[in-house]
A and B are shown apart, each in its own frame.
Chain A
Amino acid sequence: MSTLTAQAPSQIAAVPSARTRRIPWFIWASVAAAGCIVSGVYWDISWHQSIGRDTFWTPAHLLIQFGAVLGGFYAAWLIFSTSFSRNPAAKQASVNVLGFRGPMGAFIAAWGGVAMIVSAPFDNWWHDAYGLDVKIISPPHTLLAIGIAGIMWGSVILILGQMNRAEAGLRRRLQLLLLCAGGFIIIQDMIFKLEFTNRVVMHSAIFYVVVTLGMGIFLEGIARASGHRWARTAMTGFYTVVFLLALWIFPLFPAQPKLGPVYQHVDHMVPLHLPVLIVVPAFVLDLIFPRIKDWNKWAQAAIEGIIFVVVLIAVCWPFGTFLVESQAARNWFFGTQEFAYFLDPAVPSVRNVFYQGDSTRAMFFLKMGIAVVGGILSTRIGIAWSAWMSRVRR
């Protein structure tokens, strides 16, 4: 890990001086915004698994909206305070977007906030035109998801812009915050993959394809940019801990379905399933990284992509067997008895049988091949992405 020193002291908060030891408030705000959104999304899904019906004013929605407002607010403050500042140093440490000036991360977060806001009336009209959430992946929901990504990546880039100029002490603290923001991105990624990461899919190739695709971009990109020795383990561990705590805490709160038909008895908030054990391949990658970091970039991507998939299979295949077939998994700790109210008793997860996702053995291996190639490509993109992130100064 190389240590960079701050080179352009400034009097404004957006560009802390080299002697500053405190993390600026807007960094905290950016991480808090990402945390609110991730928590809200988790809560919202649990809400729909337990209660079903919602309004604009459900606590989960309010948490997401607060995250969007917080992200938009700090970003707008940074952009306007820099754009209209008379301090030349402030402007010199900023980027120019459409005539406005500010930190790079602030512009990304602001863009995300606007996208989230635009998605709201768009989605509302979509409901009126085509029905209430006829599909999960619709144009307005996609705009919303991209907006969320903007807020979260804005946080990461904002931290990097500061971290890459900071001295050792501050840098270390910013590094931890970066891993926290990266952890939120991993959580968000795994939430979007929920439909394919249930325990009953763990013996199907699609599970490994979905988990692997894109993971290298986030995991490898942020880990390398952070320069932390155990960055991959820290981010995936953060995801694991958050999911575990939610698995154990959410059921403590009462809830009743408000939509029918109700196929499963529900009297408490239904949590999302157990975290996928990506922390294990992430730990293995952290272990081997020092040995391969000087290799050719494609070689690094190849070895990391293959290791990730192989270790993921080695861990999740037997763990899936345990979760699906063992009575020892039917308890609050593993949460395999938690079902959304609308789950038909005939579906595999309720019956505790594996979903047969591969029609033939050849198809299974073909998909596994896609998982490996996807893992390698994702990692290669992550390496390139990290190279840019490591150079961000503004």
Chain B
Amino acid sequence: MSSRESAFTCPGVPWISVIGGKLMLLLFLLAPIAASAHVGSPDFYYDGYAGPYHLLVTVRPPAVVPGIAEIQIRSLSTQVNQIEILPLRLIGQGAKLAPTPDVTERSKGDPQLFTGKLWLMTRGSWKVQVNADGAQGNGELAVPIAAISATSMRMQKSLGVLLAPLGLLLIVGLVGIISAANRDAVLEPGATPSPSQRRRGFLITTVAAIIVVGAVIFGNFWWTADASHTERLSYKLPHLQLSLQSGNVLQLALENPNNVNWRQFPSGMDDPDRVRLDDLIPDHGHILHLFLVRMPDMTSFWHLHPRQGEGANFYEQLPSLPAGHYQIFADIVHHTGFAETQVGEIDLPTIEGNLLSGDDAGGPQLIAEKKISQLSDGYRMVWELDSTPIRINQPTWFRFRIEDRNGNPATDLENYMGMAGHAAFIRSDGQVFAHVHPAGSISMAAAELAQDDGSNAAKDMSVAMTGMNQATSSAEITFPYGFPSAGDYHIFVQIKRAGKIETGSFLAHVEN
């Protein structure tokens, strides 16, 4: 049982729970789902500072909402004694009304690892507030996340096999009880029912059986209606409408299949978390981040920033790029901090386009390497990869070092859209995509919203941003991320040096 922030059918009256029969008889596994901020990559990774303490926070949101999110926090400092976590809405009044925080459990084998669980009661934008306490005092940070239901789980066969006979027993037993109530129960001990009593009992039993079967059929209708209602509220991956105009202008029309009230509101009231397309906010300087990658070789990769036209239409003058079948990912952020990736595919002819400008970057012939990616001017990007196999769901810092032509650390790195670099992790079949920054897989616009409440949090954000900026003065960039599923991935890492944006391309094999 649980309670929730909601509008009430009868205002002023507490929401009532009955009983939470949460038996741990059976454990169920849910298939990975599509997440809103990325594609096929539901977990959130955040690298930041809670005051003086450097933390890597992993949030694994529930597959369905309301549900329980799993939180894993790794402290880089040995001076953290205790970490508390609590869930808050990302914006609005709910962002300020904190419940009692939960104390995370410290791993006995790994004292710098802390784990906990949080209940997320409604769909939409949330933040996980992390309070760290240690030898250097207290600090806090907030991790923006999205809570969505993106799956409709069918009942497992094993559970069905368990419940079906029990349900049948209940039906037959109920009819048997009604029969006995009308036949034996009212007889004096030792007496036997007369023929007329038997006939009456049989008649009532027949009617009762019909009513019970009717109730079961009604229950099935009810169940089906509930399931379809839940399905309507499930998050659906939006698909772009794409077309090529005037030879090299790519037109994108955003889709909004999630334009529903996620919570129950009185008639006429709109859910503040409702997904709209007229509320987009810039995420590190751009309303839309567009990624094009030619499939299946992934040698032609582009990170572009289309201009917004009317409504949900965007236009991009493509650079010169080779013909092929392109997979497209478009990252947007709503004013609620809810981040989405829209997907699409298009066959493009050879494009004779414009020179890249602004923050647009990419390359037509990026050769993916396992460790060293060649950049321009003899520079190179080195993936500091050890021999340990990469496994799924492992929060990992992916470290890349930029070297000059002499093998020395590069000294001319600059910020690229406000941070040291950008990375895209794409599975070879295009079914997994994540746009990751040095601060993690969260949207930076949502991160700024998450820090809005309270001066301490804002200060910590500035510390985190400072940390990111400092990374540009060093020659090493790190991206915290965990692969959601096994397979072969391309990692595209983009940095800016000497006024030029460079893209490194790497191959990664991920095991279960």
Q: CB within 8 Å of B: which residues of A?
A: 7-8, 10, 15, 40-41, 44-45, 48-49, 52-56, 58, 61, 64, 89, 92-98, 104, 107-108, 111, 114-125, 127-136, 138-142, 144-145, 157, 161, 165, 191-192, 194-196, 198, 200-201, 206, 256-263, 339-344, 347-351, 355, 357, 388, 391-394
Is the CB–CB distance between A259 and B3 below 8 Å? yes
Q: Which one, A52, A138, A262, A355, contacts B10 given CB within 8 A?
A: A355
The answer to whether residues A55 and B181 also contact, given A97-B176, A132-B2, A132-B119 and a CB cut-off of 8 A, is no
Q: Which one, A61, A133, A136, A139, contacts B223 given CB within 8 A?
A: A139
The answer to whether residues A121 and B23 also contact, given A104-B181, A195-B13, A388-B186 and a CB cut-off of 8 A, is yes
Is the CB–CB distance between A121 and B25 below 8 Å? yes
- Kindly list chain A residues whose C-beta atoms are within 8 Å of the C-beta of B170: 111, 114-115, 118
How far does the Cβ of B287 sit from chain A's closest Cβ, in whole Å? 29
Contact of B18 with A by CB under 8 A = yes
CA distance A350 to B8 in the complex (A): 13
Is the CB–CB distance between A262 and B99 below 8 Å? yes
- Kindly list chain A residues whose C-beta atoms are within 8 Å of the C-beta of B222: 139
Is the CB–CB distance between B4 and A355 below 8 Å? no
Is the CB–CB distance between A124 and B22 below 8 Å? yes
CA distance A339 to B13 in the complex (A): 9
Contact of B217 with A by CB under 8 A = no
Contact of B420 with A by CB under 8 A = no
CA distance A111 to B63 in the complex (A): 34
Is the CB–CB distance between A55 and B152 below 8 Å? no
Contact of B467 with A by CB under 8 A = no
Question: Told that A48-B2, A257-B100, A261-B96 touch, could you supply 11 new A-B pairs with CB distance under 8 A?
Answer: A8-B189, A45-B17, A125-B26, A130-B226, A132-B2, A140-B21, A165-B189, A201-B12, A259-B87, A261-B98, A393-B188
How far does the Cβ of B24 sit from chain A's closest Cβ, in whole Å? 6
Question: 18 pairs across A/B with beta carbons < 8 Å?
Answer: A8-B189, A44-B20, A89-B189, A92-B189, A98-B176, A111-B174, A118-B167, A127-B64, A128-B30, A131-B64, A138-B226, A141-B18, A196-B13, A259-B3, A260-B94, A261-B88, A261-B89, A388-B181
Is the CB–CB distance between A200 and B12 below 8 Å? yes
Looking at B65-73, B245-253, B353-361, B481-489, the stretch in contact with chain A turns out to be B65-73
CA distance A52 to B14 in the complex (A): 12
Is the CB–CB distance between A131 and B66 below 8 Å? yes
Is the CB–CB distance between A53 and B119 below 8 Å? yes
Q: Which 3 A-B pairs have the closest CB atoms?
A: A8-B189, A349-B12, A348-B12
Of A45, A133, A343, A393, most B-chain CB atoms within 10 Å = A133
Q: Which one, A107, A114, A127, A138, contacts B169 given CB within 8 A?
A: A114
- Kindly list chain B residues whose C-beta atoms are within 8 Å of the C-beta of A141: 18-19
B158-201 toward A: CB 8 Å interface, digit per residue (1/0)?
Answer: 01001100110110111011011101111111100000000000
How far does the Cβ of A237 sit from chain B's closest Cβ, in whole Å? 24
- Kindly list chain B residues whose C-beta atoms are within 8 Å of the C-beta of A132: 2, 66-68, 119, 121
- Kindly list chain B residues whose C-beta atoms are within 8 Å of the C-beta of A120: 21-23, 25
Is the CB–CB distance between A261 and B3 below 8 Å? no
- Kindly list chain B residues whose C-beta atoms are within 8 Å of the C-beta of A260: 5, 86-89, 94, 97-99
- Kindly list chain A residues whose C-beta atoms are within 8 Å of the C-beta of B30: 128
Is the CB–CB distance between B12 and A259 below 8 Å? no
Q: Report whether over half of chain B's contact residues are helix, strand or loop; otherwise say mixed.
A: loop
A134, closest chain B residue (CB): B66
- Kindly list chain A residues whose C-beta atoms are within 8 Å of the C-beta of B119: 52-53, 132, 258-259
CA distance A351 to B12 in the complex (A): 8
Is the CB–CB distance between A133 and B66 below 8 Å? yes
Contact of B498 with A by CB under 8 A = no
CA distance A194 to B15 in the complex (A): 9
Q: Which one, A48, A145, A349, contacts B1 given CB within 8 A?
A: A48
CA distance A5 to B305 in the complex (A): 91
- Kindly list chain A residues whose C-beta atoms are within 8 Å of the C-beta of B187: 393-394
B65, closest chain A residue (CB): A131
Is the CB–CB distance between B97 and A262 below 8 Å? yes
Contact of B107 with A by CB under 8 A = no
Of A55, A114, A393, most B-chain CB atoms within 10 Å = A393
CA distance A197 to B98 in the complex (A): 29
Contact of B9 with A by CB under 8 A = yes
CA distance A196 to B15 in the complex (A): 10
The answer to whether residues A355 and B11 also contact, given A95-B180, A260-B87, A393-B186 and a CB cut-off of 8 A, is yes
Is the CB–CB distance between B189 and A56 below 8 Å? no
Is the CB–CB distance between B172 and A194 below 8 Å? no
Contact of B227 with A by CB under 8 A = yes
Contact of B102 with A by CB under 8 A = yes
How far does the Cβ of A265 sit from chain B's closest Cβ, in whole Å? 10
Contact of B93 with A by CB under 8 A = yes
Residues of chain B in range 63-114 having any CB-CB distance to chain A below 8 Å: 63-68, 86-89, 93-100, 102
Residues of chain B in range 425-469 having any CB-CB distance to chain A below 8 Å: none
A97, closest chain B residue (CB): B176
Is the CB–CB distance between A347 and B25 below 8 Å? no
CA distance A8 to B163 in the complex (A): 40
CA distance A263 to B180 in the complex (A): 52
Is the CB–CB distance between B19 and A144 below 8 Å? yes
Is the CB–CB distance between B166 and A114 below 8 Å? yes
How far does the Cβ of A29 sit from chain B's closest Cβ, in whole Å? 20
CA distance A391 to B184 in the complex (A): 11
- Kindly list chain B residues whose C-beta atoms are within 8 Å of the C-beta of A123: 20-23
CA distance A220 to B227 in the complex (A): 39
CA distance A101 to B448 in the complex (A): 69
A104, closest chain B residue (CB): B185
Q: Which one, A58, A98, A195, contacts B172 given CB within 8 A?
A: A98
- Kindly list chain B residues whose C-beta atoms are within 8 Å of the C-beta of A133: 1-2, 17, 20, 66
How far does the Cβ of A119 sit from chain B's closest Cβ, in whole Å? 6
